[in-house]
Amino acid sequence: MLYGYERARGGHLNFVSRNDGAVYIRIRDRDTVSLPVEERLKNIQTAAQVIPRGIFPDLIYIDKAKSRALIKKVKGINLGVLIPMLECAGEIGLLEQVYYQLGRYIRVVHQFPHPKNISPVDYACRIETQVNSDLSKLLHLNNNLPRKLKFDDGHLHNFVTLEVLPEIKRTILSYPWIGCNHGDFWEFNAMGEISNDGFIMSALIDTEFFKPGIPEEDLAQNQMWGIKKRTYPDQCKAAFQSGYGGILNNAGIAAFTIVNVLDYLRPASPQLVYQEQNKPYPDGEFLTTQLNVLHDRLK
Neighbours of 9 (CB within 10 A): 9
DSSP-derived 3-state class of residue 201: strand
Residue 52 included in any domain? no
Residue 53 included in any domain? no
Residue 46 included in any domain? no
Residue 65 included in any domain? no
Residue 34 included in any domain? no
Report d(CA 116, CA 141) in Å as an integer: 33
In this structure, are residues 219 and 105 in contact, taking their beta carbons and an 8 Å threshold?
no
User: 171 CB contacts (<8 Å, ≥6 apart)?
Assistant: 214, 216, 249, 251, 252, 255, 256
Residue 146 included in any domain? yes
Among residues of the chain, what percentage have pLDDT more than 90?
Answer: 57
78, 97, 195 from 265: Cα distances, Å: 26, 34, 40
Q: Look up the CATH number of the domain holding residue 113.
A: 3.90.1200.10
Residue 93 included in any domain? yes
The total of structural domains in the chain comes to 1
Cα–Cα nearest to 59, from 46, 67, 70, 51: 70
Q: Which H/E stretch holds residue 26? A: strand 22-26
Range of the domain at 229: 74-299
- How does pLDDT run across 92-118, given as a tens digit for each residue? 999 999 999 999 999 999 999 999 999
In this structure, are residues 262 and 138 in contact, taking their beta carbons and an 8 Å threshold?
yes
Residue 59 included in any domain? no
Q: Whole-prediction pTM value?
A: 0.86
- How does pLDDT run across 125-173, given as a tens digit for each residue? 999 999 999 999 999 988 888 888 889 999 999 999 999 999 999 999 9
Terminal CA-to-CA distance of the chain, rounded, Å?
50
- How does pLDDT run across 225-276, given as a tens digit for each residue? 666 677 788 899 899 999 999 788 999 999 999 998 898 888 777 777 766 6
